[in-house]
Amino acid sequence: MIDFERNPARIQQRSFEMVRRQVQMDHLNEIEQQVAVRMIYACGDPSIIDDLRFSNGAIETGLKALKHQTPLLCDVNLVIATLNKKLLPHPPLCFINQQQVVIEAKQKNYTRAMIAVEHWQPHIKQSIVLVGNAPTALFRLMELLEKRKIDQPALIIAVPVGYTGAAESKQYLWEHYQSLGIECIVLLGTRGGSVLAATAMNALLSHYYRVIF
């Protein structure tokens, strides 16, 4: 019979311990390390630590937003699928599949993700934004922020994955977040994905509610 660990709590805890032994994270504070550990565990790639960035106030601002139960806005539904629903005070929002968004995207020849961002306006003030898949959503959000056509979120977790615009959109955010007046967590380069966006958010939620695994 094959001998392997079956207990989910022990599997996760052992994995977290292995990540901490293998990855140098002394440049991060304890909560940032918790986020990093979970993201590394989720993708199985310790080298993402080299591209993971936290603005100075990202953690504090994110936790404050959770205290005020501000909305969570997601670029795609796959981000929502990975979020820990038990810890969310209200359902996260994603408009990418709404009929009006689909219609407007066809009319303007924009991506649905771009149009969905335009529909965030009633909810975005001091919200937490999760972008895990669509760099055009991140580009459009920053464009609207620069033109002051949309309210500022409290925190952007930006980890869109891909080869067309993903690295560029994240680099732009990292270089301009201060002028945009926004805190952010960013995974630079082409790597990322919806699971990592949700994982970073789950780490904040777990810390806020002191969930121990």
Structural domains of the chain sorted by starting position, each given as residue range(s) with its CATH number in brackets: 47-208 (3.40.50.10230)
Judged against a pLDDT cut of 60, whether residue 212 lies above it is answered with: no
pLDDT surpasses 70 at 13: yes
Which of 27, 29, 51, 57 lies closest to 39, judged by CA?
51
Is residue 204 pLDDT above 90, yes or no?
yes
> Is 151:180 a contact under the CB 8 Å cutoff?
no
Amino acid 210: pLDDT: 81
Contact predicate 38/200, CB 8 Å: yes
Q: What is the mean pLDDT of residues 12-29?
A: 91
Q: Is pLDDT at 8 greater than 90 in this prediction? A: no
DSSP string, 103-146: HHHHHHT--HHHHHHHTTTTT-TT-EEEESS-HHHHHHHHHHHH
The closest of 35, 56, 72 to 196, measured between CA atoms, is 35
Looking at every residue in the chain, the average pLDDT score rounds to 95
pTM over 0.75: yes
Tokens of residue 139, six digits:
């580009």
Question: Per-residue pLDDT averaged across 86-95, rounded?
Answer: 95
Element (H or E) spanning 156, and its range? strand 155-158
Stated as kind and residue range, the H or E segment containing 202 is: helix 194-208
Q: Is pLDDT at 136 greater than 80 in this prediction?
A: yes
Give the tens place of pLDDT for each residue, 45-66. 999 999 999 999 999 999 999 9
Token pair for residue 189? 């380069």
From CA 40, how far away is CA 29, in angstroms rounded? 16
**What does the pLDDT read at residue 211?**
64
pLDDT band of residue 213 (cuts 50, 70, 90) is: very low
User: pLDDT tens digit string along 32-48?
Assistant: 999 999 999 999 999 99
